[in-house]
Amino acid sequence: MAKKLFVGNIDWGTTDDELNDLFVEHGEIEECVIIKDRATNRSKGFGFVTYVNDEDADKAIEALNDFEVKGRNLAVNEARPKED
């Protein structure tokens, strides 16, 4: 089953591809996206990475939570369901 991770504190200049390259080292990724402001198309500083299997997602959390990228420490944890 797929597991979605929340990735916070992303540098605004980081691209989807850069984020994907960082996370793919820990397993097969289904989707990787940085959330952008609709009006300005500027990064909001967070995104989501969905792994094909839970074990890879857990490895990524262990390895990349508080990992420094472009001078910022990433916050990586399991994404919570969207609230209404």
**83: pLDDT strictly greater than 90:** no
- Tell me how far CA of residue 25 lies from CA of 5, 7, 37, 81, in angstroms: 15, 15, 28, 25
Look at residue 81 and tell me whether its pLDDT is greater than 90: no
Domain boundaries, the chain: 3-78
Length of the chain in terms of residues written: 84
Specify the pTM. 0.92
Fold of 3-78: Alpha-Beta Plaits (3.30.70)
Q: State pLDDT tens for residues 15-57.
A: 999 999 999 999 999 999 999 999 999 999 999 999 999 999 9
Q: 58: exposed, middle or buried (C-beta count within 10 Å: 0-12, 13-18, 19+)?
A: middle
